[in-house]
Amino acid sequence: MGKGDQAAPSFEMTWNSTSSSGYCSQEESDPELELYYTARTSLFPRRHFKTSVSAPEVLSQKEIAQKIKDYNSQIKSNLFMSLNKDGSYTGFIKVQLKLIRPVSVPASKKPSTVHDRRGSSRSQPVKRRTSFYLPKDASKHLHLSSRTPASEVIQALLRKFTVLDNPRKFALFQKTEKDGQVCSRKLSDEEEPLKLRLLSGPCEKTLSFVLKENETGEVNWDAFSMPELQNFLRILQREEEEHMRQIIQRYNRCRQKMQEELASHTPG
């Protein structure tokens, strides 16, 4: 919790995804990719941004109790909030995972190989990572305390799936929607997501949480050698091609739906 000697919160998670394994699109770990992603997320120069985020509303114990009562009356599930004797409270938040790049997980200690299948007694452990693309738009419910900071929420999500990447590569964002306008803001490490959830109410359109890659500035490319930069260009081209492919697919789907709708209204 990062505050005094309070006990660390216990996280309970439920997986909301059509994927039974929790992962999709496996690929072998590439040291060049890992270095590139680290550069994109860990080697930014320090920048200071002025934000218009107001200080969180401070509620009295009586106001918190009333807020929790109102909150619980609005939900249609068992994901209630509970007030504790010490003034804190526990409840659930849902975090949507919107990760563009693969994450690193431990490779199998003793993977199946051609030599193994032929009955060879020699099988060396693989001392490298395996990369996975997490399912797009997957989400998780977390049970946590009002004193749990955003940094611990990120760490808990990574531990759940044995993700080996540095937690600093990721950031927790809050997404709000008002009058048709959607806004996104990165939470600081110390902000407490459950308090934001209580103040906004249970409506996901009013407030939702998203885990994304933590990219906030420009990379200091002078810190890399020529071969590394050439490898980065190759990886960047792959990212660009993948992004273009996704955009083309999205427009093709929209075009197909519009054509089907026009065909259904065409006189026979």
Tell me if 102 sits within 8 A of 133, measured CB to CB.
yes
- The domain made up of 12-108+125-221 has a fold known as Ubiquitin-like (UB roll) (3.10.20)
Cβ density class 82-119: b for 16+ within 10 Å, e for less: ebeeeebbbbbbbbbbbbebbbbbebeeeeeeeeeeee
Tens of pLDDT, residue by residue over 75-100, are 988 999 999 999 999 999 999 988 88
| 199: nearest Cα among 81, 71, 51 | 71
The pLDDT assigned to 56 comes to 62
> Between 143 and 139, whose confidence is greater?
143
> Between 63 and 239, whose confidence is greater?
63
Q: Whole-number mean pLDDT of the chain?
A: 76
The pLDDT assigned to 194 comes to 96
User: Residue 80's CB: how many other CB atoms inside 10 A?
Assistant: 13
Q: Is residue 138 predicted with pLDDT exceeding 60?
A: yes
- In this prediction, residue 201 has a pLDDT band, given cuts at 50, 70 and 90, of very high
Residues of the chain with pLDDT > 70, as a percent, come to 68
Kindly state the tokens that stand for 192: 């407490």
Query: In this structure, which amino acid lies at residue 221?
Result: W
Tens of pLDDT, residue by residue over 202-222, are 999 899 999 998 875 556 667
Q: Is residue 11 predicted with pLDDT exceeding 80?
A: no
Q: State how far Cα 63 lies from the chain centre.
A: 32
- Residues forming a β-bridge with 9: none
- In this prediction, residue 178 has a pLDDT band, given cuts at 50, 70 and 90, of confident
